[in-house]
């Protein structure tokens, strides 16, 4: 199971100006936290609350459909190409990178156990898209278009390009190379899928994009490349059994939520750093960035009172970012909470050969890279403590489907509880919609002329 070590935020360790009196705070907040947790679980099945992501560990139906389809297309494709943006791709990128063998797309088919390569297009950079299209054999590529709303500009542009190319290469057969994950009823892509006869999968109601990784949004690409999705759902279920617990002393998501909330509101530590010591987990901070930023960055409370909520998320990767960010984290403004993610056991061991006797490097010989990365994490935390900086360690025994699912689910629950502490709507993103509307206007979508005009006025375009 996942573990949380919160000693590094204690005032006994980093002093009273920056650290918390944890026993006193837990005692002060235990009733509020219990109310928040029981309220979340009470409301989770209520339509419109945006809490269906709390049920995803139990959704046997999605797993069944996904596995059935993956079995049907096994050996048919050499490549999976996922199209999407934001919550439609960030979780998929994070988990496939973590669970597939390193350098997956460079391995032979045999080394990949017969499973396809996987690519994600999650932007609209022409050079990037053209570059990928230049190397992909589209006849052997299964394109999974993912968009909850079904009309996101970037994703629809990618889809239109791919549909056109596939049609040119495959004539009428191109439809077999496109699958769609979207809302079950609404959105242009749903309409198109029905007209075109694409195989479709559903993003369930009341699961926002950034909470959708354990729907078909993530599970389908995972199954297509041979990831065991039952391990993933089992991990969520087992952790959920613990996170239901309304007792703050036994609930790690609640503890981390309260700590971040208090360190921000009491001590101005309004930057949350997520720092895995693992290359496999290097895209988890990107996923977390969206989750934390879009969920908590709000300017009004649920009672419409003005607030400027939202700690700023920053990703860092150990050990390498010790050589980029750590000077700032140690000596710059003391406004950050650094969350380490530590791995109990790496998949492999790598020895450092004893080939030099120089004092400066000889000590490395005979040790392992595993020893080294762990020593780096310990040293970094010790230094942060020396500078009175708050640190937390999230420990996962190993990077497998069961535990990475727990890591992401814990962070989702932590986000929901933190949002409730700020008393904001964690599950909307009004300003993202505003940018979408300007883009629609600028690109000439009918009905968005006012948005285009407002944008031109603001930016003084001709």
- Smallest separation, CB 283 to ligand PA5 (Å): 15
Cβ closest to ligand PA5, residue 88 vs residue 193: 88
- Smallest separation, CB 372 to ligand PA5 (Å): 37
Angle at 67 between CA 211 and CA 64, to 5 degrees: 75
Residues 187-246 that bind ligand PA5 (CB under 6 A): 208-210
Q: Distance (Å, rounded) from C-alpha 362 to C-alpha 358?
A: 5
Of 283, 404, 339, residue with least CA distance to 2: 404
Please, which residues have CB within 8 angstroms of residue 308's CB and are 6 or more apart in sequence?
Answer: 299
- Of the candidate spans 115-123, 147-155, 278-286, 377-385, the one that interacts with ligand PA5 by CB under 6 A turns out to be 147-155
- Smallest separation, CB 339 to ligand PA5 (Å): 21
Exactly one of 18, 79, 96, 149 binds ligand PA5 (CB under 6 A); that residue is 149
Q: What are the CA-CA distances from residue 384 to residues 130, 134, 255, 379, 396 (Å)?
A: 44, 46, 21, 9, 21
Contact 277, 36 (CB under 8 A): no
Of 65, 69, 59, 341, residue with least CA distance to 212: 59
Site string for ligand PA5, 436-455 (x = CB under 6 A): --------------------
- Smallest separation, CB 155 to ligand PA5 (Å): 5
Residues 419-438 that bind ligand PA5 (CB under 6 A): 429, 432
CB atoms near residue 197 (< 10 Å):
10
Please, which residues have CB within 8 angstroms of residue 10's CB and are 6 or more apart in sequence?
Answer: 19, 20, 21, 22
Cβ closest to ligand PA5, residue 8 vs residue 91: 91
Tell me the residue number closest to ligand PA5, measured at CB.
209
Exactly one of 97, 112, 148, 342 binds ligand PA5 (CB under 6 A); that residue is 148
List helix spans (H) across 183-249.
Answer: 188-196, 216-224, 229-243
- Smallest separation, CB 90 to ligand PA5 (Å): 8
Of 5, 2, 3, residue with least CA distance to 259: 5
Residues 45-104 that bind ligand PA5 (CB under 6 A): 85-88
Strand 3-5, strand 391-396: pairing: antiparallel
Of 128, 424, 408, residue with least CA distance to 296: 424
Residues 334-363 that bind ligand PA5 (CB under 6 A): none
- Smallest separation, CB 449 to ligand PA5 (Å): 23
- Of the candidate spans 101-109, 145-153, 324-332, 397-405, the one that interacts with ligand PA5 by CB under 6 A turns out to be 145-153
- Smallest separation, CB 165 to ligand PA5 (Å): 21
Cβ closest to ligand PA5, residue 322 vs residue 418: 418
Cβ closest to ligand PA5, residue 208 vs residue 310: 208
Please, which residues have CB within 8 angstroms of residue 452's CB and are 6 or more apart in sequence?
Answer: 438, 441, 442, 444
- Count the site residues for ligand PA5 by CB under 6 A: 15
Q: Distance (Å, rounded) from C-alpha 59 to C-alpha 353?
A: 49
- Smallest separation, CB 456 to ligand PA5 (Å): 24
Which parts of 213-328 are beta strand (E)?
Answer: 271-276, 312-315
- Smallest separation, CB 208 to ligand PA5 (Å): 4
Cβ closest to ligand PA5, residue 279 vs residue 428: 428
CB atoms near residue 56 (< 10 Å):
26
Exactly one of 62, 63, 96, 152 binds ligand PA5 (CB under 6 A); that residue is 152
Q: Distance (Å, rounded) from C-alpha 385 to C-alpha 14?
A: 6
Site string for ligand PA5, 290-329 (x = CB under 6 A): ----x-----------------------------------
Cβ closest to ligand PA5, residue 52 vs residue 155: 155
Strand 178-183, strand 199-203: pairing: parallel
Contact 55, 126 (CB under 8 A): no
- Smallest separation, CB 287 to ligand PA5 (Å): 11
Scanning the structure block, which residue is given the tokens 């879009």? Answer: 294
Cβ closest to ligand PA5, residue 52 vs residue 149: 149
Rounded to 5 degrees, what are φ and ψ at 199? -70, 130
Q: Which residues bind ligand PA5 (CB under 6 A)?
A: 85-88, 147-149, 152, 155, 208-210, 294, 429, 432
């Amino acid at each position: 199971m996942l573990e949380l070590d919160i000693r590094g935020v204690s005032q006994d360790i980093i002093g009273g100006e920056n650290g918390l009196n944890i026993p006193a705070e837990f005692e002060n907040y235990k009733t509020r936290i219990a109310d928040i947790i029981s309220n979340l679980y009470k409301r989770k099945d209520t339509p419109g609350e945006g809490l269906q992501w709390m049920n995803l560990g139990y959704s046997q139906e999605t797993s069944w459909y996904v596995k059935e389809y993956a079995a049907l297309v096994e050996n048919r494709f050499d490549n999976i190409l996922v199209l999407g943006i934001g919550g439609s791709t960030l979780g998929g990128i994070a988990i496939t990178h973590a669970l597939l063998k390193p350098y997956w797309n460079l391995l032979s088919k045999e080394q990949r156990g017969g499973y396809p390569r996987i690519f994600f297009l999650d932007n609209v950079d022409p050079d990037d898209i053209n570059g990928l299209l230049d190397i992909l054999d589209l006849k052997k590529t299964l394109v999974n278009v993912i968009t909850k709303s079904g009309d996101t500009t970037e994703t629809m542009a990618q889809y239109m390009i791919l549909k056109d190319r596939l049609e040119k290469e495959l004539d009428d057969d191109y439809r077999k190379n496109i699958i769609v994950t979207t809302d079950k009823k609404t959105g242009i892509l749903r309409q198109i899928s029905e007209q075109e006869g694409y195989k479709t999968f559903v993003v369930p109601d009341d699961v926002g994009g950034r909470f959708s990784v354990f729907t078909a949004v993530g599970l389908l690409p995972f199954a297509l490349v041979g990831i065991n999705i039952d391990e993933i759902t089992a991990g969520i279920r087992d952790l959920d059994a613990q996170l239901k617990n309304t007792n703050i002393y036994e609930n790690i998501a609640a503890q981390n939520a309260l700590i971040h909330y208090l360190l921000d509101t009491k001590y101005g530590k309004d930057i949350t750093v997520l720092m895995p010591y693992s290359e496999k987990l290097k895209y988890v901070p990107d996923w977390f960035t969206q989750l934390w930023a879009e969920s908590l960055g709000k300017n009004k409370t649920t009672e419409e009172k003005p607030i400027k909520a939202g700690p700023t998320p920053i990703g860092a990767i150990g050990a390498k970012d010790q050589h980029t960010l750590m000077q700032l984290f140690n000596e710059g403004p003391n406004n950050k909470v650094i969350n380490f993610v530590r791995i109990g056991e790496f998949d492999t061991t790598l020895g450092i050969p004893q080939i030099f006797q120089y004092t400066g490097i000889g000590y490395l010989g005979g040790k392992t890279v595993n020893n080294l990365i762990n020593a780096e994490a310990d040293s970094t935390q010790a230094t942060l403590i020396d500078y009175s900086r708050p640190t937390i360690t999230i420990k996962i025994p190993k990077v497998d489907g069961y535990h990475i699912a727990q890591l992401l689910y814990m962070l989702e629950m932590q986000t929901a509880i933190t949002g409730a502490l700020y008393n904001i709507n964690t599950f909307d993103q009004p300003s993202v919609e505003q940018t979408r509307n300007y883009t629609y206007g600028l690109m000439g979508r009918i009905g968005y002329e006012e948005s285009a005009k407002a944008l031109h006025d603001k930016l003084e375009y001709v």
